Amino acid sequence: MTASDRVAPDPDPSTASTATDRLLADARALMPDIVALRRRLHGCPEVGLAIPETQAVVAAAVADLGLSPILGRSVGSIVATIEGGRPGPTVLLRADMDGLPLTEATGLDFAPEMPGTMHACGHDTHVAMLLGAARLLLARREALAGRVLLMLQPGEEGFHGARLMIKEGLLEAPAEAPVIAAQAVHISTMWASGSIALRAGAMLASSDTIRIVVRGRGGHASAPHLALDPITVAAEIVLALQTAVTRRVNVFDPAVVTIAQIEGGTTTNIIPELVRLGGTFRTVSESTRTQVGTLVREVAEGVAAAHGAAVEVDIEAGYPVTMNDAGAIDVARTVATGLIGADAVVDMPAPIMGAEDFSYVLQQAPGSMVFLGARPADVDPATAPMNHSNRVVFDEPAMAVGTAFYAGVALHHLAAGG
Banded model confidence at residue 2, pLDDT cuts 50, 70, 90: very low
CATH number of the domain residue 149 falls in: 3.40.630.10
pLDDT of residue 172: 93
Is the confidence at residue 136, as pLDDT, over 60? yes
- Residue by residue, DSSP assigns 85-133 as SEEEEEEEEEEE---BSS---S--TTS-SSTT-B-TT-HHHHHHHHHHH
For residue 275, give its domain range: 208-316
**What is the amino acid identity at position 41?**
L
What's the whole-number average pLDDT of the chain? 94
pLDDT of residue 327: 97
pLDDT of residue 5: 38
Q: Does 326 lie in the same domain as 270?
A: no
Question: Region 255-267: what's the mean pLDDT?
Answer: 97
Given 236, 319, 356, 360, the catalytic residue: 319
Picking from 261, 296, 316, the residue at the C-terminal end of a domain is 316
Which H/E stretch holds residue 283? strand 274-283
pLDDT > 90: what percent of the chain? 93
Q: Does 302 lie in the same domain as 157?
A: no
Q: Does 153 lie in the same domain as 116?
A: yes
pLDDT of residue 20: 65
pLDDT of residue 173: 86
Question: Region 322-342: what's the mean pLDDT?
Answer: 97
Picking from 284, 316, 348, the residue at the C-terminal end of a domain is 316
Q: Does 309 lie in the same domain as 183?
A: no
Is the confidence at residue 35, as pLDDT, over 90? yes
Catalytic residue at 319?
yes
Q: Does 226 lie in the same domain as 197?
A: no
Is the confidence at residue 248, as pLDDT, over 90? yes
Picking from 301, 316, 331, the residue at the C-terminal end of a domain is 316
Q: Does 15 lie in the same domain as 133?
A: yes
More reliable by pLDDT, 21 or 280: 280
Beta bridge partners of 255: 283
Banded model confidence at residue 356, pLDDT cuts 50, 70, 90: very high
Which H/E stretch holds residue 313? strand 310-316
Is the confidence at residue 9, as pLDDT, over 50? no
Is the confidence at residue 1, as pLDDT, over 60? no
Chain centroid to Cα 103, Å, comes to 20
CATH number of the domain residue 273 falls in: 3.30.70.360
- Number of compact structural domains in the chain: 2
Q: Does 238 lie in the same domain as 180?
A: no
Three-state DSSP class for residue 149: strand
Q: Does 230 lie in the same domain as 150?
A: no
pLDDT > 70: what percent of the chain? 94
Is the confidence at residue 106, as pLDDT, over 90? yes
Q: Does 369 lie in the same domain as 311?
A: no
Q: Does 284 lie in the same domain as 168?
A: no
pLDDT of residue 7: 38
Is the confidence at residue 3, as pLDDT, over 70? no
Alpha carbons 62 and 46: distance in angstroms, whole number: 19
Is the confidence at residue 11, as pLDDT, over 50? no
Is the confidence at residue 305, as pLDDT, over 80? yes
- Tell me the backbone φ, ψ of residue 370, rounded to 5 degrees: -125, 160
Catalytic residue at 360?
no
Alpha carbons 123 and 42: distance in angstroms, whole number: 9
Alpha carbons 287 and 363: distance in angstroms, whole number: 15
pLDDT of residue 18: 43
Tell me the pLDDT tens digit for each residue of 179-200: 999 999 999 999 999 999 999 9
Question: Region 388-415: what's the mean pLDDT?
Answer: 97
Is the confidence at residue 417, as pLDDT, over 80? no
Is the confidence at residue 206, as pLDDT, over 90? yes
pLDDT of residue 415: 87
Chain centroid to Cα 86, Å, comes to 33
pLDDT of residue 8: 39
Q: Does 259 lie in the same domain as 134?
A: no
Banded model confidence at residue 416, pLDDT cuts 50, 70, 90: low
Q: Does 54 lie in the same domain as 163?
A: yes
